[in-house]
Structure 1
Amino acid sequence: MSRHQGNDKRNPGSGRQGGYKKTSHSRGNAPVRSNSSGFSRNENKSAQPKAKPASDDIRLNRYISNSGMCSRREADIYIQSGNVMVNGEVVTEMGYRVKPGDVVKFDGATITPEKKVYVLLNKPKNFSTSADGVRSNENVLSLVKNASKSQLQPVGRMDKTTTGLLLFTNDTELITKFSSPNQRSSKLYHVSLDKNLKFEDLEKVKNGLYIDDHKIFVEEIDYIENEAKSEIGVKMKTANVKIVRKIFEELDYNVIKLDRVTFAGLTKKNLPRGNWRFLTEQEIINLKNI
């Protein structure tokens, strides 16, 4: 096989009949056929189907996404705009595949893909998710710093006083997905109020409340069994804990404690406060399929 075969975009059968060439010997004007088919047997061995991409090749947009720069969809825009180079040449082709050893530059910076890491933390009180205090010991990132050398980010935000489940990852696509207002995964919150929640107020929340000219709906709301009427369970789609607080503040209740009990099918089972764990393969698959 020619060393260029597989990379040559020309028709491998051009200038040939059926992809194989006839023998060069002739008798008068009629070609001499070396076998009954009229083609050389040795030529059969040289014609191979176009090589498939190697299993370790990766689409350029995924390579960029795996490097943590942006999502695959955003990477397509950068590629089309001519902001991505492979081995010193600008690549604008959609579907271009990066091979092992290729040097990829994104906006002038050399990038490398990272293994995706997914960490679930049971966040304690008095730790912030604010990007302003990333290096602070009071930032949630200080709690998961030993989980990975990769730069992890929290999925969503929590104020200092809110506790419970918080997911971290370097998977920018997953972060973008769960940051979308259209994200439809359920979260369960345990809310502790400064006084008992009146039944009529519980019904108001169940039927939907207007907050800042937007009607807010919950999936479920109820008193927590065997607890005081100030202990409420609220199930909602939103990952914005501020909305949960505002619901009760709108009805003149103060939220004393707010704890996220479940997040997109993940639970606090066997995960004490302040501890973290890696997600299982099945949990990762479930998150991506939501």
Structure 2
Amino acid sequence: MERLQKILQKAGVASRRKAEDLIKAGRVKVNGEVVTVLGSKADFSDEIMVDNKKIKSENKVYYLLYKPEGYVSTTDDQYNRLTVVDLIPVEEKVFPIGRLDYNTSGALILTNDGDFANALMHPKFKLEKQYTVKVSGLVRKETSKLICRGVDLGNFKTQPAKIFDVKYDDKKENTTLTIVITEGKYHQVKRMFAKFDHDVLRLKRDRYGCVDLKGLNKGDYRRLKIHEVKKLWNLSENG
């Protein structure tokens, strides 16, 4: 017997948090009875239905997507905007691990493995995310050093970062650079540079842990190789 939200997660229905929302909304039935209490337990041998559709266990799958701008990192959107799931027409019910902003492009992993997703997103594991950033103004060495030491954003202080490949455009108006962080807070990179009066003009995530975008164009996706999945597990557990 397992918690119902974990069964929904394992079946690829939704992330654990989304599964909890489905339960609280009365959209889940176990053996014909609506279940709304979080923590209720069930088994895959039970008849479990979401929106009157029976769920079934799925093989675990792992995909890397080169997310374009103009897509939201969710499985559905209340404003009917295009989602990253629309770019991966697979049979399994996958969901994104973390998120990239609507106007941010780059590496995004989607899966139906809730335990894998939770491991990668857990803040204590400090999994590296590498971004190429274009910001307004000229980012000076002193500013880069301050950002790399950690920035107080009010509700939290960022972990140490790395900045390299700093370049200024021909008109000396904007800066392009690479930054590596180990967190994934809401709008974190944008907020870090905004702290020093630099607006982020373009943002792309080039690497997530050991996985990069090599060989992919915007909108392309591929299955992760077995050794990549294992290495991501190892990085999350030992990072």
Shift of 1:237: 0.8
Match of 2:137 among 187, 195, 199: 195
Shift of 1:184: 1.9
Partner residue in 2 for 1:254: 199
Q: Which one-letter code corresponds to 1:261 in the other structure?
A: D
Task: Detail structure 1 runs of 4+ shifted over 6 Å in the superposition.
Answer: none
Provide the rounded CA distance (Å) in 1 between the counterparts of 2:192 and 2:2. 44
Task: Extract unaligned runs of 5+ from structure 2.
Answer: 20-29, 32-42
Task: Determine which structure has more spread, i.e. the larger CA radius of gyration.
Answer: 1
Shift of 1:249: 0.3
**Aligned residue pair count:** 207
Q: Secondary structure at the match of 1:190?
A: strand
Shift of 1:124: 0.9
Q: Are the structure 2 counterparts of residues 139 and 112 from structure 1 closer, same or farther at C-alpha, using a change threshold of 3 Å? A: closer
2:227 paired with 1:282: yes
Partner residue in 1 for 2:66: 122
Partner residue in 1 for 2:182: 237
Partner residue in 2 for 1:215: 157
Give a deviation string over 1:192-245, Cα, whole Å, max 9, x none. 011210121111112222111422123311234x66471111111113361111
Provide the rounded CA distance (Å) in 2 between the counterparts of 1:267 and 1:219. 18
Q: Secondary structure at the match of 1:133?
A: coil
Provide the rounded CA distance (Å) in 2 between the counterparts of 1:68 and 1:154. 11
- Using the size of structure 1 for normalisation, the TM-score is 0.61
Q: Which one-letter code corresponds to 1:123 in the other structure?
A: K
Provide the rounded CA distance (Å) in 1 between the counterparts of 2:71 and 2:130. 20
Provide the rounded CA distance (Å) in 2 between the counterparts of 1:249 and 1:149. 41
Shift of 1:272: 1.2
Give a deviation string over 1:53-95, Cα, whole Å, max 9, x none. xxxxxx978x946423677xx9xxxxxxxxxx99xxxxxxxxx
Q: Which one-letter code corresponds to 2:224 in the other structure?
A: L
Partner residue in 2 for 1:163: 105
Identity %: 23
Select the structure with the greater relative contact order (CA < 8 A; seq sep ≥ 6). 2
Give the conservation status (yes or no) of the 8 Å contact 2:136–2:199. yes
- Using the size of structure 2 for normalisation, the TM-score is 0.73
Match of 1:206 among 107, 129, 148: 148
**Residues 167-186 of structure 1 aligned to structure 2 (within 5 Å):** 167-186=109-128
Provide the rounded CA distance (Å) in 1 between the counterparts of 2:187 and 2:97. 15
Give a deviation string over 1:257-287, Cα, whole Å, max 9, x none. 1110100110111111111111111111112
Provide the rounded CA distance (Å) in 1 between the counterparts of 2:2 and 2:75. 29
- RMSD, aligned CA: 3.4
